[in-house]
Amino acid sequence: MHSPQDDERNKDRLRFLIDTVLNALDDKVDGDELAKRAYLSRFHFDRLLARGLGESPATFRRRLLLERAAWQLLGGADVTPVAFDNGYNSGEALAHAFARAYGVPPSRFAADGRDFKLTAPNGIHFHPPAGLHIPGADRRQPMDLTDRLLEHDAWLTQQLLDCAAKLPDAALDKEIRPGNVVFRFDGPETTVRALLAHHVFAKEIWNAAMGGRKLADQPPDDSIAGLRARHATAAQRLRELVRGIRERGEWDDAFVDALCNPPQSFTYGSVIAHLLTHAAHRRGLLASALKELGAPDLPSSDPIDWEMQQATTC
């Protein structure tokens, strides 16, 4: 008898097989080796993936590599290194496969302004810079609440930055929360500056992961002026990303972030919930720390007070 638990097990198995293909994108492996890595015979590996994806493992892998090549070309990369980076022996070999898939040679692709995504029977596509976008099986109703939560977070963060700007650097760098760790991957956040920097960086790094962008190579500016500018950009970009996710009903869609070690998959909805949860926690810590340091004009952190204030000023 078929059950919901069977569906979940099948989804988990398919995700494992997809991850196996993703992890081998840059390896010179054949189908037998891929099946071995998935602990399956070649016959069962091909059959399960083809049934779950609607295309053979070889076709799936080849399409992802072509989509990655197209994305690299859109970024201005030269054809020959792109060819070698994506498993082709020469620029001519890539040009032949590329023109057949996209209808134009690689040298003209960027000028045409096309999307790098090819038609796919399963909706799974390369997700820059090194992952996958995997559509969710079910769609939920859009959540209007996200706009309000993100707008409140952006406003309150700006207010906290304004309060921090009234304190000397010595106060901002004073260890006021010894041993404080908000998230273990981020390390200690014992000063006001560290809390503010991690709060802003969390938006930046998840914006990059969800939006398929690279983070800036230069060291971040953690001065108050720098944090203000970075946060204004990051908060606006996050609102735009979330608005698009909501309007397309993609809360349960997933992307595989291959920059994690090992690669991990996340749903967009879980990432937004993660961001808002830890943002609220850091804002509370910042408000109490700033109060202890004597920062003037601290705002209320209650969204009800914020909404009432917005209503009276509109």
More confident residue, 294 or 306: 294
Q: pLDDT (tens digit, 9 = 90+) per residue, 111-166?
A: 887 889 999 999 999 999 888 888 875 544 444 789 899 999 999 999 999 999 99
Q: pLDDT (tens digit, 9 = 90+) per residue, 250-280?
A: 999 998 876 667 778 899 999 999 999 999 9
Q: pLDDT (tens digit, 9 = 90+) per residue, 83-94?
A: 999 989 999 999
Q: At 12, is the pLDDT very low, low, confident or very high (cuts 50, 70, 90)? A: confident
Fold entry, domain 145-313: Four Helix Bundle (Hemerythrin (Met), subunit A) (1.20.120)
The count of other CB atoms within 10 Å of the CB of residue 73 is 21
Does domain 4-122 fall into CATH 1.10.10.60?
yes
Paired with 127 in beta bridges are 131
Cα–Cα distance between 173 and 224 in angstroms, integer?
12
Q: At 312, is the pLDDT very low, low, confident or very high (cuts 50, 70, 90)? A: low
Give the per-residue pLDDT at 143.
43
Q: Is the pLDDT of residue 95 over 90?
A: yes
- Please give the share of the chain, as a percent, with pLDDT higher than 90: 57
Find out whether 31 and 268 touch, Cβ atoms under 8 Å.
no
Find out whether 22 and 263 touch, Cβ atoms under 8 Å.
yes
Cα–Cα distance between 275 and 216 in angstroms, integer?
20
Q: Is the pLDDT of residue 193 over 50?
A: yes
Q: What is the mean pLDDT of residues 174-192?
A: 90
What does pLDDT average to over the chain?
88
Q: Is the pLDDT of residue 7 over 60?
A: no
Q: Where are the domains of the chain?
A: 4-122, 145-313
DSSP 226-284: HHHHHHHHHHHHHHHHHHHHHHTT-TT-EEEETTSSS-EEEEHHHHHHHHHHHHHHHHH
Give the per-residue pLDDT at 141.
46
pTM of the model: 0.69
Paired with 264 in beta bridges are 257
Q: What is the mean pLDDT of residues 155-183?
A: 94
Give the per-residue pLDDT at 114.
83
